[in-house]
A and B are shown apart, each in its own frame.
Chain A
């Protein structure tokens, strides 16, 4: 098997990784919609999805089936080619960008072939991400234009103008991080954030030296929320003004693809924020003998979550829930036990912290959506051009000054 793997690394190593990551990503996308509906519902004192499966856990599945069986209408006078191309472009670009994200420090070894955790490790990973982001405008613009309908056209124009404007601030805001790390390689950017101030405060870029990137982070996250067309910057789909914006005329699975593209971009941006400003897969606790117990945090977290789910599940209101929830709890507990085994414990550290940080960012995304009202269009443009862009340039100047002054 090892010889076969050495001859065909593409077939044995890369392809399975792509398939597994795609499967995980699409499942995560589906459950991100469930997560968002639940969190927003609880912010607004509602229950959210509750009927389909225990706690509405089967709702994404039901939605997916519903999208598949809806009639797929093409509006009269639509530009057929562009109308079909737009959702494919949006979705494929959004999913491609996950390929350069590193999920952990150590490479895997599959059948004797070393390979990075994540699909690939590029020297220009960050630039590739920005290249993909900059292409993302076409999905929106083409969808709006090709529908041959006035609301989509206005929505498409709005959001492409918005995406072009905020892309500048987005790119400029990470220049500080690039200057400090001295590389475009995402793995190396994470590695440059190792170490601790005074032995216990992590040297993540957010509070790194020589210049803490706090301003850079806030600029990045604001611009990123706008770039992904999410609330409070979701003017592209302002229901009260534009029906649903650029995808008004889309139905069935083509609509679902725009939906999935939006959530995939959310995940990518959260990964990027984690990598650039929050130390990626690095643990927030020092790796000294005093904190040796911190390696059991993943195991403990999964174990406790599993036990809690079992305790809650046996008292659930429906019989189905009383079966499914304890089984899920047992599975989580089993994972917790697995993560405590000596063979696995080192490997899970990186991905655990990484995914935890990404999860926190996704929660903040939903939290912001549930809390802030939508901007007015002129406010949005003024905010982007007159506040975010000058501040991000200021951040670049200050950071480069700090680097030049601290270097001997």
Chain B
């Protein structure tokens, strides 16, 4: 049964996968970054399809709008050129590729097994209010812990960047 939800899901999933493949295959860093943006936006669409409207908007604001802008910015500033293709090393060809395929099959198997007996619940819109009361009442400790972690990373980056000034 091809409901509109499934059709939209298939389109978004195809766009996500195509973007991810293009991210690896593109030779220019900017084109790779653009592909990653496509992946982020398509993922936001998938979240929206699941009824997580707040998460979808935040996905675009944070990932596509802030983090990827910094990526593009850095690539532009450094004026990174096209990458050069070399022949695949022997280790990668004989060990890496088979291992990668094994890993892919394994992940697909476990995901398939874990989700096989899940019923298909109709997507329900999760209100931002419910989400925030969950975040700030029940999970407030992990939430604050995460923000501290990010703060520490930020300070660390600042210290590393300023090291040259001190001497």
Which residues from chain A sit less than 8 Å from chain B, CB to CB? 79, 81-82, 85, 122-124, 127-128, 130-131, 133-135, 137-138, 141-142, 144-146, 153, 156-157, 160-161, 164, 167, 182, 184
Could you tell me the distance between the alpha carbons of A141 and B56 in the complex, rounded to whole angstroms? 24
CB distance from A274 to the nearest CB of B (A): 22
B72 touches A184 (CB 8 A): no
Could you tell me the distance between the alpha carbons of A124 and B129 in the complex, rounded to whole angstroms? 11
Partner of A123 from B30, B64, B128 at Cβ < 8 Å: B128
Residue of A nearest to B28 (CB): A79
**A residues near B34, Cβ cutoff 8 Å:** 82, 85, 142
Residue of A nearest to B75 (CB): A145
Could you tell me the distance between the alpha carbons of A142 and B73 in the complex, rounded to whole angstroms? 10
Pick the most buried of A135, A144, A160: most chain B CB atoms within 10 A of its CB: A135
**B residues near A135, Cβ cutoff 8 Å:** 60, 64-65
Could you tell me the distance between the alpha carbons of A137 and B65 in the complex, rounded to whole angstroms? 8
| A156-B76, A164-B69 known; A134-B60 Cβ under 8 A | yes
**A residues near B76, Cβ cutoff 8 Å:** 141, 144-145, 153, 156-157
A81 touches B37 (CB 8 A): no
B60 touches A131 (CB 8 A): yes
Pick the most buried of B28, B70, B76: most chain A CB atoms within 10 A of its CB: B76
B57 touches A160 (CB 8 A): no
Is B151's CB within 8 Å of the partner chain A? Answer: no
Scoring B residues 56 to 91 as 1 if CB is less than 8 Å from chain A, else 0, what string do you get?
Answer: 011011001110011011001100000000000000
> What is the interface of chain B mostly: helix, strand, loop, or mixed?
helix
Could you tell me the distance between the alpha carbons of A142 and B70 in the complex, rounded to whole angstroms? 13
A sample of 12 inter-chain contacts (CB < 8 A) reads A81-B31, A82-B31, A127-B57, A127-B58, A131-B60, A131-B64, A134-B60, A134-B65, A135-B65, A142-B30, A144-B76, A160-B73
A124 touches B128 (CB 8 A): yes
CB distance from A16 to the nearest CB of B (A): 21
| A134-B60, A184-B128 known; A123-B53 Cβ under 8 A | yes
Could you tell me the distance between the alpha carbons of A373 and B30 in the complex, rounded to whole angstroms? 35
**B residues near A161, Cβ cutoff 8 Å:** 73
CB distance from A14 to the nearest CB of B (A): 14
Residue of B nearest to A137 (CB): B69
| A124-B128, A157-B77 known; A141-B69 Cβ under 8 A | yes
CB distance from B156 to the nearest CB of A (A): 20
Residue of B nearest to A178 (CB): B128
CB distance from B83 to the nearest CB of A (A): 15
**A residues near B60, Cβ cutoff 8 Å:** 131, 134-135
CB distance from A215 to the nearest CB of B (A): 23
**B residues near A81, Cβ cutoff 8 Å:** 31
B73 touches A127 (CB 8 A): no
Is B54's CB within 8 Å of the partner chain A? Answer: yes
Residue of A nearest to B31 (CB): A81
Could you tell me the distance between the alpha carbons of A262 and B31 in the complex, rounded to whole angstroms? 25
Could you tell me the distance between the alpha carbons of A81 and B65 in the complex, rounded to whole angstroms? 20
A138 touches B37 (CB 8 A): yes
Could you tell me the distance between the alpha carbons of A238 and B129 in the complex, rounded to whole angstroms? 44
A141 touches B73 (CB 8 A): yes
B127 touches A130 (CB 8 A): no
**B residues near A157, Cβ cutoff 8 Å:** 73, 76-77
Is B102's CB within 8 Å of the partner chain A? Answer: no
Partner of B57 from A85, A124, A141, A146 at Cβ < 8 Å: A124
Apart from A133-B65, A142-B34, A167-B65, list 12 A-B contacts with CB within 8 A. A81-B31, A124-B57, A128-B57, A134-B61, A134-B65, A135-B65, A138-B37, A141-B72, A141-B73, A157-B76, A164-B66, A164-B70
CB distance from A141 to the nearest CB of B (A): 6
**B residues near A79, Cβ cutoff 8 Å:** 28, 30
CB distance from A75 to the nearest CB of B (A): 16
Is B17's CB within 8 Å of the partner chain A? Answer: no
